[in-house]
Amino acid sequence: MSTQTPAITEDTARHVLWHYGADGGMQPGRGTQSLMIAIDAADMVTVERLRLGFPELVNAMLRAKNDIGGVTELQRIAGAA
């Protein structure tokens, strides 16, 4: 099992930016929206379980939510900064 952090794609960055109301966001489909709501609301044990199936999305969500400069980094990935 790889312990490498997956790269965040441009689309995922845009979806997460949209979720947090940041510039450069793009509304995803309903399923992705629901998944992002679940990731945002979950406790860390559940987030780690969700990471098994959706590592890129969880990584991007946590970066935006918890890292200083995380939103700016996602905007760079999305080509919005």
- Rounded Cα gap, residues 53 and 33, in angstroms: 16
Q: What is the pTM of this model?
A: 0.90
- Determine what percent of the chain falls in helix, strand and coil, rounding each to the nearest 5: 65, 0, 35
The one-letter amino acid code at 19 reads H
Model pLDDT, residue 38: 97
Q: What is the per-residue pLDDT across 41-76, written as a single tens digit (0 to 9) for each?
A: 999 999 999 999 999 999 999 999 999 999 999 999
